[in-house]
Amino acid sequence: MDEKAVIVEYLKKCNSYAEASIARKEERGEVEEIPSWRSYIEFNEHAIEELGNGKLDAWFTPAPTHSLKQATRLDAEALEHPIRAGWLSGLLSPRPLIIASTQDEAGNLNLAPYTSVMAVSTGPPLLIASFSCNREGRYRDTLHNLRSTQRAILHLMPANLETVSAVDETAAPLPSGESEWNMAGFTQHEDEPLLINEAVAALEVEFIEDRPLPEAVARLAVLRVTGLWTTETKIPAEGLNVLCQHGHDRLTPAPQQWGAKVEKHYNR
């Protein structure tokens, strides 16, 4: 937990204590000090808000100065593949970690982690994801299963170390037909065998097509969202606290330090 998160948690506990103190004083009829307690709570709430929107960032670390005036250009084509992959992963992040759950025509279940899933349309609701192949030219079981059964469930996972260990197990290469469910330790939903109970939320998708990428061995799949699995009662406008890839092969919680809304695009 970072410094700001610790302070926010402390202030929230202070306010919980203050609310309990007000309740006790009201019960005893000691109303003289209640306005002071309410002012204390209001002050803490204001501090929490400013910690969340970034107004107090300078209290913790000096505001970084970003400028490309002295930048160096790296020729992407000239970089060796592992170096280029590391740069792209480090720059284009964070990305949500997705556990894809599929099954083949024989009913064999498969799990695999991906960070290439992206929403590209909301009407209709379409996602894209890239699927690579191994050195023998065989594509991931997930792509084979999508082609044959046309269906998958994409899970957003909780941000904790236990889940990271389970995700690592789903990435291990297993013989075709052997299930990663046995390695990861996840449990299945009673009514939907593809659904991971331990997930935060999930997207049920239908396979539309896959296409070759120019000069690449990976293929780009187009998926249509057909269902949402969630316990939320309201739209998570600020996002969910889920596991992300941030940097190269590094899994972290979704960044939640501060946020600000942009709304001008609604005036199109």
| 30 or 56, greater pLDDT | 30
pLDDT of amino acid 14: 95
pLDDT above 90 for 57:
no
What are 219's strand-pairing partners? 131, 212
Query: So what's the pLDDT on residue 171?
Result: 83
CA separation, residue 139 to residues 134, 142, 165, 177 (Å): 6, 8, 24, 14
Hey, which CATH number is domain 81-233+240-254, 3.30.420.10, 3.40.50.150, 1.10.287.130, 2.30.110.10? 2.30.110.10
Computed on alpha carbons and rounded to an integer, the radius of gyration of the chain in Å comes to: 24
Q: What is the pLDDT of residue 197?
A: 93
Residue 129: predicted pLDDT: 95
pLDDT at 268 over 70: no
80-114 pLDDT, tens digit per residue, is 888 887 887 777 768 899 999 999 999 999 999 99
Contact 194, 102 (CB under 8 A): yes
CATH 2.30.110.10 spans which residues of the chain? 81-233+240-254
Q: Is residue 22 very low, low, confident or very high in pLDDT (cuts 50, 70, 90)?
A: very high
pLDDT computed for residue 152 by the predictor:
95
3-state SS, one letter per residue, for the chain: CCHHHHHHHHHHHHHHHHHHHHHHHHHHCCCCCHHHHHHHHHHHHHHHHHHHHCCCHHHCCCCCCCCCCCCCCCCHHHCCHHHHHHHHHHHCCCEECEEEEEECCCCCEEEEEECCCEEEEECCEEEEEEECECCCCCECHHHHHHHHHCEEEEEECECCHHHHHHHHHHCCCCCCCCCCHHHHCCCECCCCCCCECCCCEEEEEEEEEEEECCCCCCEEEEEEEEEEECCCCCCCCCCCCEEEECCCCCEEECCCCCCCCCCHHHHC
Residue % of the chain over a pLDDT of 90: 43
Is the pLDDT at 11 greater than 60? The verdict is yes
d(CA 102, CA 196): 11
Averaged confidence pLDDT in the chain: 86
pLDDT in tens, 117-140: 999 998 889 999 999 887 777 788
pTM of the model: 0.71
% of the chain at pLDDT higher than 70: 90
Per the document, the length of the chain is: 268
pLDDT of residue 62: 61
What pLDDT was estimated at residue 137? 74
Distances 5 to 36, 52, 245, 250 between C-alpha atoms, Å: 26, 9, 21, 21
Q: What is the mean pLDDT of residues 190-197?
A: 92
**What is the average pLDDT across 141-158?**
94
pLDDT one-digit tens code per residue, 159-178 = 888 999 898 888 877 766 67
Residue 63 confidence (pLDDT) above 60 = no
